[in-house]
Amino acid sequence: MTDDTPAAPRRTRRRATPAPPPEPLVAVMADLDAATPEPEPAPPVVAPSPAVSLAAPGAGETVFRLERGGIAEATAGSVDVKLGGIGRLDAEEVFVQWGGVGAARADRLGVEFGSVGAALAGEIRVTQGFAGSVVTRDATLEQSFVRTLVAQRVTVNRPTGVLVMIAQRVSGDVRPVLDWRGALAAGAAFGVVTMAWRALRGKA
């Protein structure tokens, strides 16, 4: 007996292609770092500097302006200080407002809501300010305090305090704590006390 049933076809087995091995984690991170753009560096922080300006209105004359800052010294024809300070200056005309000057030599010096440590000037005007040691020809004081004042003429417009004053002519209501006689007596007493103190320290 013959079996006419056709034989089943053979299935061809396909070999699966093996997947490529995964890349190491270090290599992947290196690729990501290379692809990521580096951030731009931040601009450097620069501290604000005092506003200083120079101008030359005329031949041989220089105007120096200082605002919101401080410098060691300045030499100019005219100096204008506002909310600032100068250690030492030499000028023909000086005006200080809401600032301070350590030592000044000028023909005309004006201080308003400020202070000056030592001044040698032809004319000085102090308004609601403080002055340490002043030697001048003409002094005008208004609601201010002066430690030592040596002048030819002194004009006081409003109540003002002066510790030591030596003046040829005074107009206005001002009573110094010490006049020239009191200043000499205080200086002599201070010298005696200083000598005694040094002697005691030498014996110790």
Q: How many CB atoms lie within 10 A of CB 25?
A: 8
Domain boundaries, the chain: 52-198
pLDDT in tens, 167-194: 889 898 776 665 555 555 555 555 655 6
pLDDT in tens, 46-64: 444 555 554 444 434 688 9
pLDDT of residue 107: 95
The residues that bridge with 105 in the sheet, in sequence order, are 90, 120
Look at the block and give the residue holding tokens 């014996």.
203
pLDDT in tens, 92-129: 999 999 999 999 999 999 999 999 999 999 999 999 99
Best mean pLDDT range from 29-33, 133-137, 180-184: 133-137
pLDDT of residue 68: 86
Look at the block and give the residue holding tokens 């004053």.
165
Going through the chain in order, the beta strands assigned E by DSSP cover 51-58, 61-67, 70-82, 85-97, 100-112, 115-127, 130-142, 145-156, 161-171
Task: Please give the mean pLDDT across all residues of the chain.
Answer: 75
As a whole-number percent, the residues of the chain with pLDDT over 90 amount to: 44
pLDDT of residue 57: 41
- State pTM to two decimals: 0.60
Q: Is pLDDT of 133 > 90?
A: yes
pLDDT in tens, 72-95: 999 999 999 999 999 999 999 999
Angle of CA points 147, 148, 150, to nearest 5°: 150
Q: Which two tokens stand for residue 162?
A: 């002066």
